[in-house]
Amino acid sequence: MHFAVVKSRTIKIVIVMIIVCVLLTISFSGARLAEVFFGYSTRLVPIYSVETDEKQVAISFDAAWGADKTEGILEILKEYNVTATFFLVGFWVDEYPDMVKKIDESGMEIGTHSNKHPDMVKLDANSIENELKTSIKKIEDITNKNVNLFRAPFGSYNNTLIEKAQELNLMTIQWDVDTLDWKGISATEMCNRVVKNVKNGSIVLMHNNSDNILEGLRMILDRLTMQGYKITSVGELVYKDNFEVDRNGVQHEK
C-alpha cells in the first residue's frame, strides 16, 4: 500500500515536470518562457542608442503620411548645417518620388520604414522579406544608393524580423528619445521632452508631417546646439562593425 502511494506520487511529479518543460519551450513576446524563468534571454534587440563618449545625437524622421512640411524640414536642417535620417515607407515613396530625390540631394540619409507599414511581427518570414526588399528597391531606384537602415513600423519587432533584416544587410534602428510629435503636442513640449531625455548617443524620433514639427525642430536644434551636441544622421552615429547590442538596445563598440 505504501509502495502504491509513493509510485502514484512519483508519477504525478513526472507529469508535472513534463508539463513545465513543455511550457518553458513556448515563446512569449519573442522570448522563450524558459529564458524569462531562468533569467536569461536570447531575444534580439534593435539599436535604441549608442554608447559613446562623444557628445553626439542622431535625428530621425519617419515618413508615412503626407509631405507638406518635408521641404521645410530640409531647409531648417540645412540652416543648422546638420544631417538627419529619413525612414521612408514604400507607399510614401510611390506618392512623393520628387521629395525622395530632394531628401537625398540635400545630403540626408534614407532608410526603409517597410513598404506598407504593417505590424511586421504578425507577418511570416517570406512576407517580411518582401516588405523589406520591395521598399528598398523603390528607394534605391530613385537615389542609386544602398539602403542600410530599417525602422520597424510601430517599433514592433521580434527575432524573425531582425534576423531577416540582417540577412538583407540592414541595421534595425529604434529610438531612445520620442518627441511624441505625432500626438499634436506643442513645439515647446517636444523640445522639453528631448532636452529632458537626451544623452550622448541618443536617437531622437520625429515625424516628417506632424503638427508643429517645423517650430519644434528649430527649438530642438537650438537647444541641442547650445548644449554642445553634434547632431548627425543615424548612420554617422552607429558603429558599422565590431559591435554588440545589449539587452537594453544600447550598441557598444567591441
How many angstroms separate the Cα of 4 from the Cα of each of 1, 8, 10, 11, 18? 5, 6, 10, 11, 21
Over residues 28-57, the pLDDT tens digits come to 333 333 333 334 458 999 999 999 999 999
CA dist., res. 202 & res. 185, Å (int): 21
- Other CB atoms within 10 A of residue 27 CB: 13
173: which 3 cell numbers?
534602428
For 193, the grid coordinates are 521632452
Q: What is the pTM of this model?
A: 0.84
For 67-106, write each residue's pLDDT tens digit.
999 999 999 999 999 999 999 999 999 999 999 999 999 9
Model confidence pLDDT, tens digit, residues 148-195: 999 999 999 999 999 999 999 999 999 999 999 999 999 999 999 999
